[in-house]
Structure 1
Amino acid sequence: MNQILSYQSKSFQDKFTLFHNDQQVGNLYKAEWLGNPIHGSLYGHHYKFVAKGFFRLNILVHDEDQQKEIGKIRLHKLGFHFTNGTMELWDRSEYKFKVSGFFFPRWCWLKEGKAIMSSEVIPSFFKSSGTIRAEENSQQLNTLLAAAGIHLKNRSKGVNLVSIVACSLFILSWLLTKM
């Protein structure tokens, strides 16, 4: 199976719409202004992602259709941002999330070192869009990985923006003290 999805966000990237062959098949949105929890639906499957902890590096994954928690995502932080994470489902399956490229325009999910889903993001300041290519045969797994991938990529973009602003302010203050 080689399924291709596309997605795009509304202004300020608080809601994503997912498409297959130009037909809407799902969405991902913030339930609250601060973005916790995140709700996603794709092909009739509904998920909720709830960030926990001080730096919110742990995300609980809920299957809203079955009304139960099905796994956890742990983000691995590098400096001010994260470049990868691990999703462990309660059936003991494990998937690695990885972002790559200059300003991280690509993300993928790996299983046992092999990419099973990948995405290329077309960046924009207020909106985001991209394509997702799924190699896995399970539609339910694909829906979970696609929703989680978009959420994590969007989250990394916000964290990266904060780190860029912080570094810029640091450099500016250093330059001002040298004058």
Structure 2
Amino acid sequence: MKSLIAYFSHRGYNCVDGKVKYLEKGNTEIVAHMIACVSNLPLFKIEPESPYPDNFYEYLDITQQELANNTYPKLKGYLHEHYDEIYLGFPNYWGTMPRAVFSFLKALNDEHIVIHPFITHDGGDYGTSLTDIKTLCPHATITEPLSLKCTHIQCQLSAIENWVKKGSHDNG
């Protein structure tokens, strides 16, 4: 089975536990690397062609406008091969996935694919993202998501390991 970890993450200023803090690596990127350590799977970073600003409030304005205008940012890269299984990571913005993740999923061949969503958030859980994934990838199998509050990420290695093992066991 050909598997991959694809993730979107924002480094720079982010909201963590209700406070804006500078992060060298975004929360979702940290989780993606933890999953890679557990699973030995390759990583694919979902990045918009035009980088988002480090400034948290400018970044929020842009992501809110993308959602309000139903726009899909062009990405720096897309998958050129088919994968049977994708661990898909993203933060919850505005009650769903960032629009860059929408762009990634719109370009994905969802035939015979299993998607394992993992979501980082500051209290909003996964919102409508699972419904949105199913809408964008109607032929995909979507497994039980891993939802991690940003303030608890560093303490969640055991939960991440169990989730990865469960996903691998259910599909392999």
Give the shorter-chain TM-score range. 0.3 to 0.5
More strand by share: 1
Q: TM-score, normalised to structure 1's length?
A: 0.32
Compare CA radii of gyration and give the structure with the larger one: 1
Q: Greater RCO between the two (CA within 8 Å, min separation 6)?
A: 2
More helix by share: 2
Q: TM-score, normalised to structure 2's length?
A: 0.32
